[in-house]
Each structure stands twice: as structure tokens, then as C-alpha cells.
Amino acid sequence: MPKIQIADHFLPLLNNQHRFLILCGGYGSGKSEFAGRKIYYRCETEGNHKFLILRKVRGMLRESCIDVMLSILEENEVSYDYNKTDRKITFYNHNLQNNEILFEGLDDPKKIKSIKGVTSAWLEELTEFTKDDFRQIDLRIRGHSKYYKQIICSFNPEEAKAPWIKIMFFDKVVENAKIDISTVDDNPFIDDEYIKQLDNIDDEVYRDIYRYGKWAIAKGLIYNNWVRCPYPAKVDEQIWGLDFGFNNPSALIRIGIKDKEYYVQEMLYRSNLTNQELIQQLKNIISNKREYIYADCAEPDRIKEIHQAGFNVFPSNKNITEGIDFLKRYKLLIEPNSHNLIDEIGGYKWKEDKFGNTVDEPVKFKDHLMDAMRYAIYSYQNKVKVGIAWL
């Protein structure tokens, strides 16, 4: 049998057999990692499993659940087959029993209906799902099985996104559900820098949700002038916004201007990129180097290095209040597969004072694509093309 690392907080849940295992918690608590490790543990100890792992949108699986499962298998030196097209992992346990792990999204409900013989499921980011989504999945994971059938649910307690979760599982006792609440303090594998970032969240509501795993409702959302819309094949002009990061993600966004409307698409959202690695990403993504890129003006050395690589990059106008006010005058048409962008704009809010009143400053949290979007649109409209030594 392999040795599986489990944080002490989650160890009592490893053999939990409740129908619903509800893993609620803040950022970095390790709840998703535990869900993946429990799935692997059951495949090894029980065998002949067919686990279904779901996100609301299939495209989000690669950067979350799939990476988690592949990492666990490689850590335990398990030979596996991963079919990228079907998004299916197949492997044998130590008793030579076959196991399948399937990855799907509810943006393709017909695909879910065609899957038979599922033994258990994991719903990552449960707040993305509707109550009806959850009911349909619950109905499909039924029938006789040698081992218990369980639905694992992991999420941050954002009540505004999915109030039905709190009503269904937290406002009353549910006999066939096990509720677990975790925070970053329960994760011994997390680094101190990440904890420091969470401790420095400058908004009480978001600190409750993401640092302490408490149910809270965010108010004072900044943008309500956006809709999902495909990025058009042709635009009148195209510009780019770039927010630098390292521990935080570097964020690149493209803006298509057509008939005086702004089409917005997330193009890059990745942590731990050096500037040279970022430049390589820009070369892979931006085919026309003459298109304007507006970047965070607080990083002039990085901007200069990108310019020397041949890009038409400028320091942005970073006036936050005026930039937000400008963007709020227009409808923002966001490409539907821009998942991190949609997540950010759906939670981008004003700060609140100790009395719960909103103040005229956005919360500095989950705002990297928001900054990049503002840099591009506001700077372009204000014709920011000055103040660079090489012009």
C-alpha cells in the first residue's frame, strides 16, 4: 500500500461514508487537495472505481482538479494513462484492480447523461453550481455498488454566489451530510508568504470568507455592466492590458474595440513567471507586436525589458477611481471561457468601513485581471503614449 500524506485536520474524513461530504473553507486550506487524495485512497484500497470529477465549466478542470489528481498519482509513482481528449485517467491499484477518473463540466449536460456506472463524485467549487445542477447529479449517482457512494463538495463560503448551499446544509442538520470547515491554518504544507497575503486582505467580508472560511455576503460590487459574449472574429482595433505578478498571477487581457463596444478576453493568468518567461508567453499569444499593450506603470524596468523584446508596450494610467468610473459607462462584453476574469469581476467590490459602509476604493484581492482590463481601456481612451524614455 502507498503512503498518502493527509493533513491532521482531514484525517478523520478519510474513511467518512456520509452521502455528502461538504468541504467548506477559506483559500489554501487544503480541502481540494484532500478531496483528490481521498479519491486516490479509495481507488487503492477498494478498487474498480469510476469517479466523476466536475466543475460547472469543463475548461476550468485543467488548472484545478486534473492537475491535483495527476500530481497525486505521480507523487505515489503510479503508472497511469491520461486521455486528454476524453479527459479520463485510467490506472490499476496494487491489487491490479482497474480505476477510472472522469473529468467533465455541466456546460455539456448531454455528456454527463451518457456516463454510466459512476461510483462517487467530487464537485469542485460548488458555488458555481445551481441547486438544480446538484439535484441532477445526486439522482445520477445512485444504484447498487460494492462500496459506499459519496458526493464530495468543496468551495469557499460565498453566500451571494450560491445561497442554496447554506440553506440546504448549514441552516439545518442534514443526517446524511458531514460538514467540515477548514482554514489555511489547517494546511501544514502551505508557505508563510501565502498566509501573509490572506492576513493582509483589507476587507472584513473577504477576510471572513477567504481567510477564515466563514459565510458572508459581499456587497458593494463595482461592475454590473457586463455580460458574457463571444469575442468577435473581427474588431476595429485590438489592445492589451498587462498586470505583473510573481507570487500573484501575471494577468494578460485582450480588448477588442468594435462599434464603440469593448469585448474582453482573458489570455494569461499564471503565477511564478519571471519577466523572461512572461515575454515568451507574450510572444506565443500576441501575433501583432504593433498592437498597444498597457502595463502596470509601477514596474518600469519590466516594461522596458518587454519593449526591448519588440513589443509596443506603455506604462498605463493607473488612476483607479477615474478608471473604474470610465469603465462603468460602457457595457463590457466578456468572452464566456474567461473563467478567472468572470470570477474576478463577479466579486470585485468596494471596501467597507467598520460600520459596513462602502468607501471609494476597491478591495485589493482577486483583482489582477480587473487591473489589466482597466489599464488597457482607460489608458487607451486617454491616449497614454507618453512618458517613456525610448519614444
- Mean per-residue pLDDT, 9-30: 97
Helix (H, G, I), strand (E, B) or coil at 264: strand
In sign, the C-alpha dihedral spanning 134, 136, 137, 138 is: positive
Distances (CA, A) of 226 to 17, 135, 187, 330: 42, 29, 36, 9
Provide the pLDDT for residue 109: 67
Q: Does position 59 have pLDDT exceeding 90, yes or no?
A: no
- For 78-126, write each residue's pLDDT tens digit: 999 999 988 999 999 999 999 999 999 887 666 677 778 899 999 999 9
Strand 250-258 relative to strand 261-270, pairing: antiparallel
Contact 236, 257 (CB under 8 A): yes
Q: Does position 390 have pLDDT exceeding 50, yes or no?
A: no
Q: Does position 9 have pLDDT exceeding 80, yes or no?
A: yes
Provide the pLDDT for residue 239: 97
- For 208-248, write each residue's pLDDT tens digit: 999 999 999 888 899 999 999 999 999 999 999 999 999 89
Which one, of 111, 136, 117, lies nearest residue 49 by Cα? 117
- CATH number given to 226-381: 3.30.420.280
- CATH number given to 11-210: 3.40.50.300
Q: Does position 389 have pLDDT exceeding 60, yes or no?
A: no
Helix (H, G, I), strand (E, B) or coil at 352: strand
Judged by phi (left if over 0) then psi (alpha if -120 to 50, else beta), residue 95 lies in alpha
Provide the pLDDT for residue 115: 79
Q: Does position 391 have pLDDT exceeding 70, yes or no?
A: no
Given pLDDT bands bounded at 50, 70 and 90, which one contains residue 306? very high
Q: How many CB atoms lie within 10 A of CB 9?
A: 20
Q: Does position 387 have pLDDT exceeding 80, yes or no?
A: no
What ranges do the domains of the chain cover?
A: 11-210, 226-381
Q: b/e per residue, 273-308, with b = 16+ CB within 10 A?
A: bebeebbebbeeebeeeebbbbbbbebeebbebbbe
The pLDDT mean for the chain works out to 91
Q: Does position 175 have pLDDT exceeding 70, yes or no?
A: yes
Return the biggest CA–CA distance within the chain. Answer: 72
Distance, in Å, from the CA atom of 17 to the CA atom of 328, rounded to the nearest integer, reads 49
Distance, in Å, from the CA atom of 293 to the CA atom of 241, rounded to the nearest integer, reads 6
Which one, of 42, 31, 41, 196, lies nearest residue 125 by Cα? 31
